[in-house]
Amino acid sequence: MYLDVHKNVENKMKKTVKAFNEELKTIRAGRANPSLLDKIMVNYYGAATPLNQIANISVPEARQLLISPWDANSLTEIEKAIQKSDLGLNPSSDGKTIRLIIPQLTEETRRDMIKTLGKIAEASKVAIRNERRNGNDELKKLNKNSELSDDELVKSEDKVQELTDTYIKEIDRLAKEKESELMEV
Query: What fold is seen in the domain 34-101?
Result: Gyrase A; domain 2 (3.30.1360)
Specify whether the CB–CB gap between 107 and 182 falls below 8 A.
no
Residue 83: what pLDDT? 86
Specify whether the CB–CB gap between 55 and 79 falls below 8 A.
no
Residue 29: what pLDDT? 66
What's the CA gap between 156 and 153, in Å, rounded?
5
Q: Which residues of 100-113 are buried (b: 16+ CB within 10 A; e: fewer)?
A: bebeebeeeebeeb
Q: Which residues pair with 70 in a beta bridge?
A: none
Using one digit for the tens of pLDDT, what is the confidence trace for 108-134? 878 888 898 999 999 999 999 999 999
- The model's pTM is 0.71
Residue 1: what pLDDT? 62
Q: Which residues of the chain have pLDDT under 70?
A: 1-2, 28-30, 185
Residue 10: what pLDDT? 94
Identify the CA nearest to 62 among candidates 92, 105, 32: 32
Asked if the 2-28+106-183 domain carries CATH number 1.10.132.20, the reply is yes
Sequence ranges of the domains in the chain: 2-28+106-183, 34-101
> DSSP 3-state assignment of 71?
coil
Using one digit for the tens of pLDDT, what is the confidence trace for 137-150? 999 999 998 888 88
What's the CA gap between 4 and 23, in Å, rounded?
29
Residue 125: what pLDDT? 96
> DSSP 3-state assignment of 15?
helix
Report long-range pairs for 172-177 (Cβ below 8 Å, ≥24 apart): 172/121, 174/17, 174/20, 174/21, 174/24, 174/121, 175/24, 175/117, 175/118, 175/121
Residue 12: what pLDDT? 94
